[in-house]
Protein backbone atom coordinates (compact mmCIF):
# COMPACT_ATOMS: atom_id res chain seq x y z
CA UNK A 1 0.00 0.00 0.00
CA UNK A 2 1.02 3.64 -0.48
CA UNK A 3 2.42 5.02 2.78
CA UNK A 4 4.11 8.28 1.77
CA UNK A 5 4.21 10.64 -1.21
CA UNK A 6 6.60 13.55 -1.79
CA UNK A 7 6.25 15.93 -4.75
CA UNK A 8 8.70 18.78 -5.40
CA UNK A 9 8.65 21.41 -8.14
CA UNK A 10 5.72 19.95 -10.07
CA UNK A 11 3.11 22.26 -11.68
CA UNK A 12 1.60 24.34 -8.83
CA UNK A 13 3.19 22.13 -6.17
CA UNK A 14 6.31 23.60 -4.58
CA UNK A 15 7.02 21.00 -1.91
CA UNK A 16 4.39 18.49 -0.81
CA UNK A 17 4.82 15.59 1.61
CA UNK A 18 1.87 13.45 2.71
CA UNK A 19 1.57 10.24 4.73
CA UNK A 20 -1.22 7.76 4.02
CA UNK A 21 -2.82 4.96 6.04
CA UNK A 22 -4.57 1.71 5.23
CA UNK A 23 -8.34 1.64 4.76
CA UNK A 24 -10.50 4.12 2.85
CA UNK A 25 -9.16 7.64 2.21
CA UNK A 26 -11.12 10.40 0.50
CA UNK A 27 -9.56 13.40 -1.22
CA UNK A 28 -11.61 16.59 -1.54
CA UNK A 29 -11.13 20.18 -2.56
CA UNK A 30 -12.69 22.87 -4.66
CA UNK A 31 -12.71 22.62 -8.44
CA UNK A 32 -9.34 23.86 -9.69
CA UNK A 33 -7.62 23.38 -6.34
CA UNK A 34 -5.18 20.89 -7.88
CA UNK A 35 -6.55 17.39 -7.32
CA UNK A 36 -5.66 16.53 -10.92
CA UNK A 37 -2.15 17.89 -10.30
CA UNK A 38 -1.75 15.56 -7.33
CA UNK A 39 -2.97 12.65 -9.45
CA UNK A 40 -0.65 13.64 -12.30
CA UNK A 41 2.35 13.66 -9.97
CA UNK A 42 1.43 10.23 -8.65
CA UNK A 43 1.05 8.94 -12.23
CA UNK A 44 4.58 10.13 -13.06
CA UNK A 45 6.16 8.10 -10.27
CA UNK A 46 4.23 5.09 -11.56
CA UNK A 47 5.83 5.38 -15.01
CA UNK A 48 3.78 7.89 -17.02
CA UNK A 49 5.66 9.86 -19.69
CA UNK A 50 7.05 13.18 -18.47
CA UNK A 51 6.53 16.65 -19.91
CA UNK A 52 9.04 19.46 -19.31
CA UNK A 53 6.16 21.93 -19.04
CA UNK A 54 5.21 20.37 -15.70
CA UNK A 55 8.27 21.86 -13.97
CA UNK A 56 7.25 24.69 -11.66
CA UNK A 57 10.74 26.22 -11.66
CA UNK A 58 12.32 25.48 -15.03
CA UNK A 59 15.82 25.85 -13.56
CA UNK A 60 15.31 23.12 -10.94
CA UNK A 61 14.59 19.43 -11.27
CA UNK A 62 11.23 17.95 -10.35
CA UNK A 63 11.33 15.03 -7.90
CA UNK A 64 8.45 12.71 -7.04
CA UNK A 65 8.92 9.93 -4.53
CA UNK A 66 6.44 7.33 -3.34
CA UNK A 67 6.94 4.79 -0.56
CA UNK A 68 5.00 1.52 -0.63
CA UNK A 69 4.64 -1.32 1.83
CA UNK A 70 4.71 -4.36 -0.45
CA UNK A 71 5.49 -7.36 1.74
CA UNK A 72 2.06 -9.11 1.45
CA UNK A 73 1.87 -8.96 -2.34
CA UNK A 74 4.38 -11.54 -3.60
CA UNK A 75 6.48 -9.24 -5.75
CA UNK A 76 9.87 -10.81 -5.01
CA UNK A 77 9.99 -12.54 -8.40
CA UNK A 78 9.42 -9.26 -10.25
CA UNK A 79 12.38 -7.69 -8.41
CA UNK A 80 14.56 -10.73 -9.10
CA UNK A 81 13.71 -10.76 -12.81
CA UNK A 82 14.74 -7.10 -13.10
CA UNK A 83 17.88 -7.51 -10.99
CA UNK A 84 16.58 -5.20 -8.24
CA UNK A 85 17.07 -5.29 -4.48
CA UNK A 86 13.83 -6.31 -2.80
CA UNK A 87 12.71 -4.34 0.24
CA UNK A 88 9.32 -4.62 2.00
CA UNK A 89 9.36 -0.81 2.17
CA UNK A 90 10.00 0.01 -1.48
CA UNK A 91 10.71 3.52 -2.76
CA UNK A 92 9.82 4.62 -6.28
CA UNK A 93 11.43 7.88 -7.41
CA UNK A 94 11.11 9.92 -10.59
CA UNK A 95 13.24 12.91 -11.53
CA UNK A 96 12.60 15.32 -14.40
CA UNK A 97 15.66 17.44 -15.14
CA UNK A 98 15.60 21.01 -16.56
CA UNK A 99 17.19 19.57 -19.72
CA UNK A 100 14.02 17.54 -20.28
CA UNK A 101 15.64 14.22 -19.44
CA UNK A 102 13.84 11.91 -17.07
CA UNK A 103 15.29 9.40 -14.61
CA UNK A 104 13.57 6.64 -12.67
CA UNK A 105 14.69 4.68 -9.61
CA UNK A 106 13.44 1.75 -7.55
CA UNK A 107 15.11 1.55 -4.13
CA UNK A 108 17.79 3.93 -5.48
CA UNK A 109 18.63 1.62 -8.41
CA UNK A 110 18.23 3.26 -11.85
CA UNK A 111 15.51 1.58 -13.95
CA UNK A 112 13.78 2.13 -17.27
CA UNK A 113 10.28 3.58 -17.46
CA UNK A 114 9.03 0.18 -18.59
CA UNK A 115 10.27 -1.47 -15.40
CA UNK A 116 8.89 1.38 -13.28
CA UNK A 117 5.53 1.07 -15.03
CA UNK A 118 5.58 -2.72 -14.69
CA UNK A 119 5.94 -2.43 -10.91
CA UNK A 120 3.54 0.53 -10.68
CA UNK A 121 0.77 -1.49 -12.32
CA UNK A 122 1.13 -4.09 -9.56
CA UNK A 123 0.92 -1.44 -6.81
CA UNK A 124 -1.87 0.97 -7.75
CA UNK A 125 -4.87 0.81 -10.02
CA UNK A 126 -5.73 4.43 -10.87
CA UNK A 127 -9.27 4.53 -12.14
CA UNK A 128 -10.03 7.56 -14.30
CA UNK A 129 -12.91 8.42 -16.59
CA UNK A 130 -10.72 7.20 -19.46
CA UNK A 131 -10.39 3.82 -17.76
CA UNK A 132 -14.16 3.54 -17.55
CA UNK A 133 -14.10 3.07 -21.31
CA UNK A 134 -12.18 -0.18 -20.73
CA UNK A 135 -15.45 -1.53 -19.38
CA UNK A 136 -16.75 -1.64 -22.95
CA UNK A 137 -13.78 -3.69 -24.20
CA UNK A 138 -13.95 -7.46 -24.63
CA UNK A 139 -10.58 -8.15 -22.98
CA UNK A 140 -11.52 -6.29 -19.77
CA UNK A 141 -14.89 -8.02 -19.59
CA UNK A 142 -13.22 -11.42 -19.91
CA UNK A 143 -10.79 -10.38 -17.17
CA UNK A 144 -13.75 -9.94 -14.81
CA UNK A 145 -15.16 -13.41 -15.55
CA UNK A 146 -11.69 -14.97 -15.30
CA UNK A 147 -11.15 -13.38 -11.88
CA UNK A 148 -14.41 -14.82 -10.55
CA UNK A 149 -13.77 -18.21 -12.16
CA UNK A 150 -10.26 -18.36 -10.69
CA UNK A 151 -8.88 -18.89 -14.19
CA UNK A 152 -5.44 -17.41 -13.50
CA UNK A 153 -3.51 -20.69 -13.70
CA UNK A 154 -5.65 -21.98 -16.59
CA UNK A 155 -5.10 -18.75 -18.52
CA UNK A 156 -1.36 -18.90 -17.81
CA UNK A 157 -1.18 -22.47 -19.16
CA UNK A 158 -3.11 -21.40 -22.27
CA UNK A 159 -0.91 -18.34 -22.90
CA UNK A 160 2.27 -20.40 -22.40
CA UNK A 161 1.05 -22.91 -24.97
CA UNK A 162 -0.06 -20.08 -27.28
CA UNK A 163 3.46 -18.65 -27.27
CA UNK A 164 4.83 -22.09 -28.12
CA UNK A 165 2.29 -22.50 -30.94
CA UNK A 166 2.99 -19.07 -32.41
CA UNK A 167 6.72 -19.72 -32.18
CA UNK A 168 6.25 -23.01 -34.08
CA UNK A 169 4.22 -21.23 -36.76
CA UNK A 170 6.91 -18.55 -37.15
CA UNK A 171 9.59 -21.25 -37.34
CA UNK A 172 7.54 -23.15 -39.90
CA UNK A 173 7.12 -20.03 -42.03
CA UNK A 174 10.85 -19.35 -41.86
CA UNK A 175 11.71 -22.93 -42.83
CA UNK A 176 9.34 -22.86 -45.78
CA UNK A 177 10.76 -19.55 -46.97
CA UNK A 178 14.27 -20.98 -46.60
CA UNK A 179 13.22 -24.10 -48.50
CA UNK A 180 11.74 -22.07 -51.36
CA UNK A 181 14.87 -19.93 -51.54
CA UNK A 182 17.16 -22.95 -51.30
CA UNK A 183 15.32 -24.79 -54.06
CA UNK A 184 15.91 -21.85 -56.39
CA UNK A 185 19.68 -22.18 -55.83
CA UNK A 186 19.84 -25.95 -55.40
CA UNK A 187 20.75 -26.85 -59.01
CA UNK A 188 23.35 -24.10 -59.29
CA UNK A 189 24.89 -24.97 -55.91
CA UNK A 190 25.04 -28.64 -56.89
CA UNK A 191 26.82 -27.74 -60.15
CA UNK A 192 29.35 -25.55 -58.32
CA UNK A 193 29.94 -28.24 -55.70
CA UNK A 194 30.53 -30.99 -58.28
CA UNK A 195 32.92 -28.70 -60.15
CA UNK A 196 34.95 -28.08 -56.99
CA UNK A 197 34.68 -31.71 -55.87
CA UNK A 198 36.35 -32.90 -59.10
CA UNK A 199 39.18 -30.40 -58.77
CA UNK A 200 42.41 -31.62 -57.02
CA UNK A 201 41.99 -29.38 -53.97
CA UNK A 202 44.83 -30.28 -51.65
CA UNK A 203 47.38 -28.15 -49.88
CA UNK A 204 50.33 -27.17 -52.13
CA UNK A 205 48.81 -28.64 -55.29
CA UNK A 206 49.25 -25.49 -57.39
CA UNK A 207 52.93 -25.23 -56.47
CA UNK A 208 53.43 -28.92 -57.38
CA UNK A 209 51.65 -28.57 -60.72
CA UNK A 210 53.51 -25.37 -61.59
CA UNK A 211 56.83 -27.14 -60.89
CA UNK A 212 55.79 -30.11 -63.08
CA UNK A 213 54.68 -27.75 -65.82
CA UNK A 214 58.05 -25.97 -65.82
CA UNK A 215 59.90 -29.29 -65.93
CA UNK A 216 57.81 -30.74 -68.77
CA UNK A 217 57.97 -27.53 -70.78
CA UNK A 218 61.80 -27.36 -70.58
CA UNK A 219 62.62 -31.10 -70.77
CA UNK A 220 64.99 -30.76 -73.83
CA UNK A 221 67.07 -28.11 -72.09
CA UNK A 222 67.12 -30.13 -68.89
CA UNK A 223 68.34 -33.28 -70.69
CA UNK A 224 71.04 -31.28 -72.47
CA UNK A 225 72.34 -29.77 -69.22
CA UNK A 226 72.20 -33.08 -67.39
CA UNK A 227 74.19 -34.80 -70.17
CA UNK A 228 76.85 -32.07 -70.10
CA UNK A 229 77.09 -32.28 -66.35
CA UNK A 230 77.39 -36.07 -66.47
CA UNK A 231 80.22 -35.76 -69.07
CA UNK A 232 82.12 -33.30 -66.87
CA UNK A 233 81.91 -35.62 -63.93
CA UNK A 234 82.64 -38.98 -65.55
CA UNK A 235 85.02 -38.31 -68.54
CA UNK A 236 87.74 -41.00 -68.50
CA UNK A 237 90.64 -38.58 -68.74
CA UNK A 238 89.53 -35.17 -67.51
CA UNK A 239 86.33 -36.05 -65.62
CA UNK A 240 86.01 -34.57 -62.17
CA UNK A 241 85.29 -37.99 -60.69
CA UNK A 242 88.57 -39.48 -62.04
CA UNK A 243 90.62 -36.46 -61.01
CA UNK A 244 89.12 -36.51 -57.54
CA UNK A 245 89.83 -40.24 -57.30
CA UNK A 246 93.51 -39.54 -57.99
CA UNK A 247 93.51 -36.79 -55.39
CA UNK A 248 91.91 -39.12 -52.86
CA UNK A 249 94.61 -41.76 -53.49
CA UNK A 250 97.45 -39.25 -53.06
CA UNK A 251 96.15 -37.91 -49.78
CA UNK A 252 95.33 -41.34 -48.51
CA UNK A 253 99.09 -42.11 -48.63
CA UNK A 254 99.70 -39.14 -46.30
CA UNK A 255 97.05 -40.03 -43.74
CA UNK A 256 99.51 -42.04 -41.66
CA UNK A 257 101.81 -39.03 -41.09
CA UNK A 258 99.70 -37.24 -38.56
CA UNK A 259 96.18 -36.06 -37.63
CA UNK A 260 96.21 -33.10 -40.04
CA UNK A 261 96.86 -35.38 -43.04
CA UNK A 262 94.35 -37.94 -41.85
CA UNK A 263 91.68 -35.24 -41.49
CA UNK A 264 92.39 -33.89 -44.94
CA UNK A 265 92.19 -37.39 -46.42
CA UNK A 266 88.86 -38.00 -44.69
CA UNK A 267 87.44 -34.76 -46.07
CA UNK A 268 88.46 -35.67 -49.63
CA UNK A 269 86.82 -39.08 -49.12
CA UNK A 270 83.57 -37.34 -48.08
CA UNK A 271 83.66 -35.12 -51.15
CA UNK A 272 84.29 -38.16 -53.37
CA UNK A 273 81.31 -40.01 -51.90
CA UNK A 274 79.06 -36.92 -52.33
CA UNK A 275 80.22 -36.65 -55.95
CA UNK A 276 79.31 -40.29 -56.53
CA UNK A 277 75.80 -39.60 -55.18
CA UNK A 278 75.52 -36.62 -57.52
CA UNK A 279 76.49 -38.77 -60.50
CA UNK A 280 73.87 -41.35 -59.53
CA UNK A 281 71.19 -38.67 -59.11
CA UNK A 282 72.04 -37.08 -62.48
CA UNK A 283 71.75 -40.48 -64.15
CA UNK A 284 68.40 -41.08 -62.44
CA UNK A 285 67.14 -37.68 -63.58
CA UNK A 286 68.29 -38.42 -67.13
CA UNK A 287 66.29 -41.64 -67.12
CA UNK A 288 63.22 -39.87 -65.71
CA UNK A 289 63.32 -36.74 -67.86
CA UNK A 290 61.77 -37.38 -71.22
CA UNK A 291 59.37 -35.46 -73.44
CA UNK A 292 55.71 -36.26 -72.49
CA UNK A 293 53.24 -34.05 -74.38
CA UNK A 294 50.28 -35.94 -72.91
CA UNK A 295 51.34 -35.37 -69.31
CA UNK A 296 52.18 -31.73 -70.08
CA UNK A 297 48.66 -31.25 -71.43
CA UNK A 298 47.16 -32.93 -68.33
CA UNK A 299 49.17 -30.76 -65.91
CA UNK A 300 48.32 -27.63 -67.86
CA UNK A 301 44.64 -28.58 -67.80
CA UNK A 302 44.63 -29.00 -64.02
CA UNK A 303 46.42 -25.70 -63.55
CA UNK A 304 44.03 -23.84 -65.82
CA UNK A 305 41.06 -25.40 -63.96
CA UNK A 306 42.41 -24.27 -60.60
CA UNK A 307 43.20 -20.79 -61.91
CA UNK A 308 39.68 -20.53 -63.35
CA UNK A 309 38.06 -21.70 -60.09
CA UNK A 310 40.09 -19.19 -58.09
CA UNK A 311 38.91 -16.40 -60.38
CA UNK A 312 35.31 -17.65 -60.43
CA UNK A 313 35.03 -17.81 -56.65
CA UNK A 314 37.30 -14.83 -55.98
CA UNK A 315 39.63 -17.08 -53.96
CA UNK A 316 43.35 -16.50 -53.62
CA UNK A 317 44.28 -19.97 -52.30
CA UNK A 318 43.28 -23.60 -52.68
CA UNK A 319 42.35 -23.61 -48.99
CA UNK A 320 39.70 -20.94 -49.70
CA UNK A 321 38.34 -23.06 -52.55
CA UNK A 322 38.13 -26.04 -50.17
CA UNK A 323 36.15 -23.95 -47.66
CA UNK A 324 33.75 -22.84 -50.42
CA UNK A 325 33.30 -26.47 -51.50
CA UNK A 326 32.48 -27.50 -47.91
CA UNK A 327 30.04 -24.61 -47.54
CA UNK A 328 28.24 -25.59 -50.74
CA UNK A 329 28.04 -29.18 -49.51
CA UNK A 330 26.45 -27.95 -46.27
CA UNK A 331 23.90 -25.87 -48.21
CA UNK A 332 22.98 -28.80 -50.40
CA UNK A 333 22.68 -31.09 -47.38
CA UNK A 334 20.64 -28.45 -45.53
CA UNK A 335 18.24 -28.15 -48.45
CA UNK A 336 17.76 -31.88 -48.47
CA UNK A 337 17.14 -31.95 -44.68
CA UNK A 338 14.75 -28.96 -44.65
CA UNK A 339 11.82 -31.18 -45.56
CA UNK A 340 12.48 -33.36 -42.52
CA UNK A 341 12.78 -30.27 -40.32
CA UNK A 342 9.54 -28.85 -41.73
CA UNK A 343 7.77 -32.14 -41.00
CA UNK A 344 9.09 -32.11 -37.42
CA UNK A 345 7.96 -28.54 -36.73
CA UNK A 346 4.63 -29.19 -38.45
CA UNK A 347 3.98 -32.08 -36.06
CA UNK A 348 4.96 -29.83 -33.10
CA UNK A 349 2.58 -27.06 -34.28
CA UNK A 350 -0.28 -29.54 -34.67
CA UNK A 351 0.35 -30.93 -31.17
CA UNK A 352 0.36 -27.38 -29.75
CA UNK A 353 -2.85 -26.59 -31.61
CA UNK A 354 -4.62 -29.63 -30.19
CA UNK A 355 -3.51 -28.73 -26.66
CA UNK A 356 -4.50 -25.08 -27.21
CA UNK A 357 -7.93 -26.17 -28.35
CA UNK A 358 -8.29 -28.27 -25.21
CA UNK A 359 -7.13 -25.44 -22.90
CA UNK A 360 -9.37 -22.90 -24.66
CA UNK A 361 -12.28 -25.31 -24.26
CA UNK A 362 -11.58 -25.60 -20.54
CA UNK A 363 -11.54 -21.79 -20.22
CA UNK A 364 -14.81 -21.57 -22.15
CA UNK A 365 -16.40 -24.18 -19.90
CA UNK A 366 -15.35 -22.42 -16.70
CA UNK A 367 -16.41 -19.00 -18.00
CA UNK A 368 -19.79 -20.27 -19.16
CA UNK A 369 -20.42 -21.79 -15.73
CA UNK A 370 -19.55 -18.47 -14.05
CA UNK A 371 -21.51 -16.11 -16.32
CA UNK A 372 -24.84 -16.52 -14.47
CA UNK A 373 -23.17 -15.75 -11.14
CA UNK A 374 -21.55 -12.61 -12.55
CA UNK A 375 -24.90 -11.50 -14.00
CA UNK A 376 -26.58 -12.00 -10.62
CA UNK A 377 -23.87 -10.15 -8.68
CA UNK A 378 -23.89 -7.19 -11.09
CA UNK A 379 -27.67 -6.80 -11.18
CA UNK A 380 -28.00 -7.10 -7.40
CA UNK A 381 -25.28 -4.52 -6.73
CA UNK A 382 -26.62 -2.08 -9.33
CA UNK A 383 -30.08 -2.38 -7.80
CA UNK A 384 -28.62 -0.83 -4.64
CA UNK A 385 -27.14 1.96 -6.77
CA UNK A 386 -30.44 3.19 -8.17
CA UNK A 387 -30.54 0.91 -11.18
CA UNK A 388 -33.16 -1.67 -10.08
CA UNK A 389 -34.07 -2.61 -13.64
CA UNK A 390 -30.49 -3.00 -14.88
CA UNK A 391 -30.09 -6.29 -16.67
CA UNK A 392 -27.19 -8.03 -18.36
CA UNK A 393 -27.01 -10.66 -21.06
CA UNK A 394 -23.66 -12.43 -21.04
CA UNK A 395 -22.83 -14.85 -23.85
CA UNK A 396 -19.54 -16.51 -24.75
CA UNK A 397 -19.18 -17.23 -28.46
CA UNK A 398 -16.29 -19.49 -29.53
CA UNK A 399 -14.22 -18.36 -32.50
CA UNK A 400 -11.74 -20.19 -34.73
CA UNK A 401 -8.96 -17.76 -33.78
CA UNK A 402 -6.56 -18.28 -30.89
CA UNK A 403 -6.65 -14.94 -29.04
CA UNK A 404 -4.46 -13.97 -26.10
CA UNK A 405 -7.40 -14.71 -23.78
CA UNK A 406 -8.61 -17.90 -25.45
CA UNK A 407 -11.04 -18.47 -28.30
CA UNK A 408 -14.01 -16.69 -26.71
CA UNK A 409 -15.68 -13.54 -27.98
CA UNK A 410 -17.77 -12.12 -25.15
CA UNK A 411 -21.17 -10.60 -25.84
CA UNK A 412 -21.62 -8.43 -22.74
CA UNK A 413 -24.92 -6.65 -23.36
CA UNK A 414 -26.82 -4.30 -21.09
CA UNK A 415 -30.29 -2.93 -20.64
CA UNK A 416 -31.04 -0.17 -18.12
CA UNK A 417 -34.83 -0.50 -18.24
CA UNK A 418 -37.25 -3.34 -17.78
CA UNK A 419 -38.29 -4.66 -21.17
CA UNK A 420 -35.73 -2.47 -22.91
CA UNK A 421 -33.54 -3.61 -25.75
CA UNK A 422 -30.14 -5.05 -24.98
CA UNK A 423 -27.09 -3.49 -26.51
CA UNK A 424 -23.36 -3.07 -25.99
CA UNK A 425 -22.33 -0.97 -22.98
CA UNK A 426 -20.68 1.54 -25.30
CA UNK A 427 -23.96 2.25 -27.06
CA UNK A 428 -26.54 1.80 -24.29
CA UNK A 429 -25.06 2.93 -20.96
CA UNK A 430 -24.75 6.60 -20.01
CA UNK A 431 -21.63 8.01 -18.37
CA UNK A 432 -23.18 7.81 -14.90
CA UNK A 433 -24.33 4.25 -15.50
CA UNK A 434 -20.89 3.23 -16.75
CA UNK A 435 -19.30 4.70 -13.61
CA UNK A 436 -21.62 2.73 -11.35
CA UNK A 437 -21.13 -0.47 -13.33
CA UNK A 438 -17.36 0.00 -13.18
CA UNK A 439 -17.45 0.58 -9.42
CA UNK A 440 -19.45 -2.60 -8.93
CA UNK A 441 -17.06 -4.57 -11.14
CA UNK A 442 -14.03 -3.18 -9.30
CA UNK A 443 -15.62 -4.13 -6.00
CA UNK A 444 -16.16 -7.66 -7.28
CA UNK A 445 -12.59 -7.87 -8.60
CA UNK A 446 -11.25 -6.64 -5.24
CA UNK A 447 -12.44 -9.89 -3.67
CA UNK A 448 -10.52 -12.02 -6.13
CA UNK A 449 -7.47 -10.00 -7.21
CA UNK A 450 -4.62 -9.14 -4.87
CA UNK A 451 -4.05 -5.46 -5.63
CA UNK A 452 -2.58 -3.30 -2.84
CA UNK A 453 -4.20 0.04 -3.72
CA UNK A 454 -6.95 1.43 -5.92
CA UNK A 455 -7.64 5.12 -6.56
CA UNK A 456 -10.97 6.32 -7.97
CA UNK A 457 -10.89 9.68 -9.71
CA UNK A 458 -14.43 11.12 -9.42
CA UNK A 459 -16.11 7.80 -10.18
CA UNK A 460 -19.19 9.24 -8.44
CA UNK A 461 -19.66 11.97 -11.06
CA UNK A 462 -23.28 12.29 -12.09
CA UNK A 463 -24.83 10.73 -8.96
CA UNK A 464 -26.10 12.19 -5.72
CA UNK A 465 -28.20 11.54 -2.67
CA UNK A 466 -28.70 7.97 -1.55
CA UNK A 467 -26.85 6.59 -4.57
CA UNK A 468 -23.69 8.44 -3.57
CA UNK A 469 -24.11 7.00 -0.05
CA UNK A 470 -24.23 3.50 -1.51
CA UNK A 471 -21.20 4.14 -3.69
CA UNK A 472 -19.31 5.36 -0.64
CA UNK A 473 -20.33 2.23 1.24
CA UNK A 474 -19.09 0.00 -1.59
CA UNK A 475 -15.69 1.70 -1.55
CA UNK A 476 -15.66 1.44 2.24
CA UNK A 477 -16.32 -2.30 2.00
CA UNK A 478 -13.55 -2.67 -0.59
CA UNK A 479 -11.10 -1.05 1.81
CA UNK A 480 -11.32 -4.04 4.15
CA UNK A 481 -9.23 -5.96 1.61
CA UNK A 482 -7.16 -3.17 0.06
CA UNK A 483 -6.20 0.48 0.37
CA UNK A 484 -8.82 2.62 -1.37
CA UNK A 485 -8.67 6.31 -2.37
CA UNK A 486 -11.51 8.32 -3.81
CA UNK A 487 -11.18 11.81 -5.26
CA UNK A 488 -14.68 13.16 -4.85
CA UNK A 489 -16.91 16.23 -4.82
CA UNK A 490 -19.67 14.49 -2.89
CA UNK A 491 -19.90 14.94 0.90
CA UNK A 492 -21.74 11.62 1.23
CA UNK A 493 -18.73 9.79 -0.26
CA UNK A 494 -16.13 11.94 1.50
CA UNK A 495 -17.68 11.21 4.88
CA UNK A 496 -17.32 7.46 4.41
CA UNK A 497 -13.54 7.65 4.45
CA UNK A 498 -11.50 6.46 7.38
CA UNK A 499 -9.26 9.40 6.52
CA UNK A 500 -9.89 12.59 4.58
CA UNK A 501 -7.36 14.76 2.76
CA UNK A 502 -7.95 18.23 1.39
CA UNK A 503 -6.28 19.70 -1.68
CA UNK A 504 -6.26 23.49 -1.67
CA UNK A 505 -4.45 26.52 -3.06
CA UNK A 506 -2.43 29.15 -1.19
CA UNK A 507 -1.81 32.57 -2.72
CA UNK A 508 0.69 34.89 -1.01
CA UNK A 509 0.20 37.66 -3.55
CA UNK A 510 3.20 36.57 -5.61
CA UNK A 511 2.73 32.90 -6.39
CA UNK A 512 -0.01 30.33 -6.08
CA UNK A 513 0.79 26.96 -4.56
CA UNK A 514 -1.18 23.73 -4.34
CA UNK A 515 -1.16 22.13 -0.90
CA UNK A 516 -2.57 18.94 0.57
CA UNK A 517 -3.18 17.99 4.18
CA UNK A 518 -4.85 15.33 6.25
CA UNK A 519 -7.91 16.72 8.05
CA UNK A 520 -8.68 16.34 11.74
CA UNK A 521 -12.19 15.37 12.79
CA UNK A 522 -13.07 19.04 13.40
CA UNK A 523 -11.61 20.06 10.04
CA UNK A 524 -13.57 17.29 8.34
CA UNK A 525 -16.82 18.64 9.79
CA UNK A 526 -16.05 22.10 8.38
CA UNK A 527 -14.97 20.68 4.99
CA UNK A 528 -18.10 18.56 4.69
CA UNK A 529 -20.31 21.50 5.73
CA UNK A 530 -18.72 23.65 3.00
CA UNK A 531 -19.29 20.87 0.48
CA UNK A 532 -22.94 20.78 1.58
CA UNK A 533 -23.73 24.47 1.79
CA UNK A 534 -20.84 26.58 0.55
CA UNK A 535 -18.35 28.81 2.37
CA UNK A 536 -21.02 30.35 4.58
CA UNK A 537 -21.36 27.74 7.28
CA UNK A 538 -24.91 27.34 8.52
CA UNK A 539 -25.90 25.45 11.64
CA UNK A 540 -27.86 23.00 9.55
CA UNK A 541 -24.87 22.34 7.29
CA UNK A 542 -22.62 21.77 10.30
CA UNK A 543 -25.21 19.46 11.88
CA UNK A 544 -25.62 17.56 8.63
CA UNK A 545 -21.83 17.23 8.30
CA UNK A 546 -21.56 15.80 11.83
CA UNK A 547 -24.41 13.44 11.07
CA UNK A 548 -22.63 12.21 7.93
CA UNK A 549 -19.45 11.56 9.88
CA UNK A 550 -21.29 9.72 12.60
What per-residue confidence (pLDDT) applies to 464?
74
How far is 425 from 537, CA to CA, in rounded Å? 42
Residue 450 has pLDDT above 80, yes or no: no
Residue 149 dihedral angles phi and psi, to the nearest 5°: -85, 0
Q: Region of 271 please: left (phi>0), alpha (psi -120 to 50) or beta.
A: alpha
Higher per-residue pLDDT: 472 or 318: 472
Report yes or no: 436 and 387 within 8 Å, Cβ to Cβ.
yes
How far is 96 from 43, CA to CA, in rounded Å? 13
Residue 543 has pLDDT above 70, yes or no: yes
pLDDT in tens, 2-12: 999 999 988 88
What per-residue confidence (pLDDT) applies to 485?
93
What per-residue confidence (pLDDT) applies to 217?
78
pLDDT range class, residue 363, cuts 50, 70, 90:
very high
Residue 497 has pLDDT above 70, yes or no: yes
Residue 329 has pLDDT above 80, yes or no: no
pTM (predicted TM-score): 0.66
Domains of the chain: 2-150+385-519 (3.40.50.300), 180-336 (no CATH)
Among 108-117, 159-168, 327-336, 517-526, the least confident range: 327-336
Question: Beta-strand (E) ranges in 335-461?
Answer: 391-403, 406-415, 423-424, 453-457
Higher per-residue pLDDT: 154 or 295: 154
pLDDT range class, residue 130, cuts 50, 70, 90:
low
What per-residue confidence (pLDDT) applies to 348?
95
Residue 258 has pLDDT above 90, yes or no: no
Among 84-88, 147-151, 288-292, the least confident range: 288-292
What per-residue confidence (pLDDT) applies to 25?
95
How far is 186 from 175, CA to CA, in rounded Å? 15
How far is 543 from 539, CA to CA, in rounded Å? 6
pLDDT in tens, 395-449: 898 888 999 999 998 888 888 888 788 888 878 877 778 888 888 888 888 777 7
What per-residue confidence (pLDDT) applies to 129?
62
Closest CA to 542 of 503, 496, 491, 498: 491
pLDDT range class, residue 136, cuts 50, 70, 90:
low
3-state secondary structure 48-78: CCCCHHHECCCCCCEEEEEEEECHHHCCHHH
How far is 530 from 536, CA to CA, in rounded Å? 7
How far is 130 from 143, CA to CA, in rounded Å? 18
Residue 251 has pLDDT above 90, yes or no: no
Amino acid sequence: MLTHLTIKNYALIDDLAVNFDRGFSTITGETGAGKSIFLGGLSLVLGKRADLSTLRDKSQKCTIEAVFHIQPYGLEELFKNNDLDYDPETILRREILPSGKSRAFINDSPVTLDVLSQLGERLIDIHSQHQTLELTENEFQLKVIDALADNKSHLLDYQTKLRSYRSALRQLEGLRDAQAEAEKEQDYNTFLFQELKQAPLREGVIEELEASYEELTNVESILEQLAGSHQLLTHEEVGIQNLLSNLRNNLSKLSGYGPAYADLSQRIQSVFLELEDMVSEIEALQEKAEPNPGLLEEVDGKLQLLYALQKKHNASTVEELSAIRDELETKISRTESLEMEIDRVQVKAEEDKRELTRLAGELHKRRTALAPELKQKLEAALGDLGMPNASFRIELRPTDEFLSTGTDQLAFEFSANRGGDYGSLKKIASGGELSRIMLVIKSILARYEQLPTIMFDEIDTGVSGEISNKMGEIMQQMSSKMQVFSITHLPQVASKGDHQYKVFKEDDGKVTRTKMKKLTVEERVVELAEMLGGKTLSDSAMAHAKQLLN
